[in-house]
Structure 1
Amino acid sequence: MSFTVTILPSGHQMEVEDDESVLDAALRQGYALPYGCRNGGCGSCMGKLITGEVDYGPMRPRALSEEDEAAGKALFCQAYAMTDLEIEVPEIGAVKDIVVKTLPARVVEMNRLNHDVMELRLKLPAIERLQFLAGQYIDILLRDGRRRSFSLANPPHRDETLELHVRHVPGGSFTTQVFETMKPKALVRIEGPLGTFFLREDSDRPILMMAGGTGFAPLQGMLEHVFAQAIDRPIHLYWGTRSREDLYRDEQVRAWCAEHTQLRYTPVLSEALDDTTWEGERGWVHETLLRDYPDLSAHDVYMSGPPPMIAAARPLFLAHGLPETQLFFDSFEFAEDAVE
């Protein structure tokens, strides 16, 4: 059985089967709706349910609060149509023509960036290249059917290898393999590019970027893309970590600031109580950003990092004047069968 879904404001119509989510049906038919983790954890795919009914199974998705649901919002990566639907969600034209591929890749380089972050560089077959937008991610497909999602840290123009920043998650089977047994020349299978977290180049507003931990990876790709394309917009990067060691590309960012006057940089440490030599910001990164920019209405904000950071920052940023259409985020969901 299938139902008709009308996407507003575009007016596009599509068919959704009763065994697929609204998002899966949209992607299958070439409609680029926003999404991130695809497991209900990040909230990137949230939109408005204008008419009709959807079902989420036995549990409401984590990123959909009772208040959201009462306000008529839905998470389309987890929503299954029970009737014909009218939904309101922005379509993203930039990803429409990019082909998602499943490809083999070889690990050609492994670099320890600090105590718990490894840089992996993957090489595709000689006849293949991955077309992607700065900020998107790929899935590594494991042999048991599970997948692990990692943002592409390299920009599209630097695609000879794909750069991933892998944080060692305690108890994580794949990340433990990366840190303990994986060697260069190892073969993996990937699927991508995925996601709708990418730089919107049709805006001229100044940009605020906020990273938590390895959430720096997609922002690195965006920044390198900005520099390569000579995009002349003011950018202020905030990077929140626990300790100074976790700022694994701090010197690189400072070098960019010296070379590109449009870029400002504020690192923020949340657990620097014993670091008496640290003269920078301390506390929560989103609170530091709001002290500097109490009115966000004239900015585009890009944030990526762990779900608690996204969950804390999103409502506060909106309360400080940021329109939802100017907020773009990637929640690094660490679920066992999703993202590490």
Structure 2
Amino acid sequence: MTFRVTLQPAERVFDVARDEPILAAAIRQGIGMPYGCRDGACGSCKSRLIEGRVLHGAHQLKALSAAEEEAGFILPCCATPQTDCVVEARTVPGAGDHPILKMPTRVLALERAAPDVMVLTLQLPANQRFQYHAGQYIEFILRNGARRSYSMANAPGRLMDPPAIELHLRHMPGGQFTDHVFGAMKEKEILRMEGPFGSFYLREDSNKPIVLLASGTGFAPIKAIIERLQDSGSTRPAVLYWGCRRRADLYRDDWAREAAATMPNLRYVPVLSEARAEDDWRGRVGFVHEVVMADLPDLSGHQVYACGAPVMVEAAQRDFVARCGLPADEFHADAFTSEADKHGS
């Protein structure tokens, strides 16, 4: 049994199988809807139900509150239709461009970029052409069926030879996957992955100046976007704000400084929230999104790409729109939700 879902205002119509989430059906059929975690944790896919009934699976109240649900909002990532439905949701041009592939991948290199950050280089199979937008992510499929999501840190035009992707992983002590990465993982190990996923990537049909906002390893997809700007010959003004706690956490500071030195339109502003005497820090201090607002009090003509901890992304979205005049549809984000975030712990 299937139900028909119509997306407004784009007038896209697609079928959803019984017990299938609306978002999963859209992805399966190449229809671009906004989303981030696919787990009911981040709220990126939040949409309005105009007609019909849905049943929600488990989700975080911060992603969809009881009051929002009462007001007619749904999370397509965990909402299964019970009737034909009409949903008001932005469609994302390009989100369904590239086929989602399941494939094996081989560990080429492990680099400890900071005490708790590993840069993982993964070789792609030669017989499958993996395509993605800079900013998107893949999911590792673990032996027990669990999944872990990580963004590509290299632009699609920089897949290396042999073709390989770069990922930045932060160690979550006790984490099923990252304990292995920081402990027993060796070069040549085979992992299973699926992708690309996500509606976080550069909108190349705009000429607005860009604010790139990262915290921690949220720098990874931002790095890919910067490489894409460079590879495409973009002349759009862009500024990168990278917020970390301590100086050692700016694990690719040299890369960012070099990118700003070689790209005339790119500025780089590192920000520390807990700078100490031993950091010998003469740069900006504070919450990274507040530093952006101090520098750019009027964001009405800008486009923002934000990636990192959910608390930073949520604060930036709220304050940039309310206090700096950023149009709500020009805030593009990918909140790095951990397994603890997803399960409310």
Question: Shorter-chain-normalised TM-score: which range?
Answer: over 0.9
Output one character per residue of 1:97-134: Cα deviation in whole Å (capped at 9) or x when no partner.
Answer: 31110001100111110111011000022222311110
1:323 and 2:330 aligned: no
What is the CA distance between 1:293 and its match in structure 2? Answer: 1.4
Task: State the one-letter code of the partner of 1:239.
Answer: W
Q: Find the aligned partners of 1:315 and 1:65 in 2 and give their Cα distance.
A: 16
Partner of 1:139: 139
Q: Does the CA contact (< 8 Å) of 1:34 and 1:195 recur in 2?
A: yes
Q: Partner of 2:13 in structure 1? A: 13
Q: Which residue of 1 aligns with 2:188?
A: 185
- 1:32 matched to 2:36: no
Equivalent in the alignment of 2:200: 197
Aligned CA RMSD, in angstroms, stands at 1.8
| C-alpha contact 1:172 1:336 (8 A) present in aligned 2 | no
Contact 1:152 1:162 in 2 (8 A): yes
Return the TM-score normalized by structure 2.
0.93
Does the C-alpha gap of structure 1 residues 68 and 322 become closer, same or farther in structure 2, counting only changes over 3 Å? farther
1:152 matched to 2:152 = yes
The answer for unaligned runs of 5 or more in structure 2 is: none
Alignment of 1:89-238 (within 5 A): 89-159=89-159, 160-238=163-241
Deviations along 1:139-186, one digit per CA (max 9) or x if unpaired, are: 111010001110000100111211000110111011011111101011
Residue correspondence of structure 1 range 278-297 to structure 2 within 5 A: 278-297=281-300
**How many angstroms does 1:42 deviate by?**
1.5
Higher mean C-alpha deviation, range 92-101 or range 268-277? 268-277
| Separation in 2, partners of 1:246, 1:53 | 46
Paired amino acid for 1:207: I
Quickly say closer, same or farther: Cα 1:22–1:157, change in 2 above 3 A.
Answer: same
- Give deviations 1:205-254, integer Å, cap 9, x for gaps: 00001001000000000101111111110001111111000000111111
Separation (CA, whole Å) in 1 of partners of 2:303 and 2:59:
33
Q: Quick one: structure 1 residues 252 and 276, their matched pair in 2 at CA, closer, same or farther if it must change by over 3 Å? A: closer
Aligned residues: 339
Aligned counterparts of 1:227 and 1:16: Cα–Cα separation in 2: 40
Kindly tell me: are residues 43 and 239 of structure 1, through their superposed partners in 2, closer, same or farther at Cα, counting changes over 3 Å? same
Query: Would the aligned equivalents of 2:41 and 2:60 in 1 still touch at CA under 8 Å?
Result: no
Q: Are 2:340 and 1:333 equivalent residues in the alignment?
A: no
Q: Cα–Cα, structure 1 residues 6 and 242, in superposed 2: closer, same or farther, change >3 Å?
A: same
Mean Cα deviation higher: 321-330 or 243-252: 321-330
Structure 1 stretch 144-153 or stretch 21-30: which is displaced more? Answer: 21-30
Task: Tell me if the contact between 2:39 and 2:59 (Cα under 8 Å) persists in the aligned partners.
Answer: no
Q: 1:112 to 1:144 in 2, by over 3 A?
A: same
Structure 2 CA distance, aligned partners of 1:275 and 1:301? 33
CA distance in 2, matches of 1:187, 1:133: 24
Shift of 1:273: 3.7
Counterpart AA for 1:29: Q
> Structure 1 residues 239, 71: closer, same or farther in 2, change over 3 A?
farther
Cα distance in 1, alignment partners of residues 340 and 291 from structure 2: 31
Moved more, 22-31 or 301-310: 22-31
Q: Which amino acid aligns with 2:248?
A: E
Question: How far apart in 2 are the matches of 1:254 and 1:325?
Answer: 30
Match of 1:110, as an amino acid? L
- Quote how far apart the aligned CAs of 1:66 are: 4.2
Aligned to 1:311: 314
Q: Percent identity?
A: 47
Tell me, which stretches of 5 or more residues in structure 1 are unaligned? Answer: none
Moved more, 110-119 or 54-63: 54-63
Contact 1:47 1:89 in 2 (8 A): yes
Find the aligned partners of 2:300 and 2:140 in 1 and give their Cα distance.
37
The reply on whether 1:299 has 2:302 as its aligned counterpart is: yes
TM-score (norm 1): 0.95
Residue 2 of structure 1 deviates from its aligned partner by 3.1
Distance in 2 (CA, whole Å) between partners of 1:170 and 1:210 is 26
Given the superposition, is the C-alpha separation of residues 121 and 87 from structure 1 closer, same or farther in structure 2, using an over 3 Å criterion?
same
The Cα offsets for residues 61-92 of structure 1, whole Å up to 9 and x where unpaired, read as: 54113454355332211112233221111212
Give the C-alpha shift of residue 325 in structure 1.
Answer: 1.4
Aligned amino acid, residue 177 of structure 1: H
Tell me by how many angstroms 1:60 deviates: 5.5
Q: CA distance change for structure 1 residues 41 and 162 in 2, over 3 Å: closer, same or farther?
A: same
Change (3 A) 1:60 1:107: closer
- Return the offset for 1:337: 9.8
1:149–1:338 Cα contact (<8 Å) kept: no
Confirm or deny: 8 A CA contact 2:60 2:342 kept in the other structure: no
Task: Give the AA of the match of 1:321.
Answer: G
Instruction: Answer with 79-88 or 298-307: which moved more.
Output: 79-88
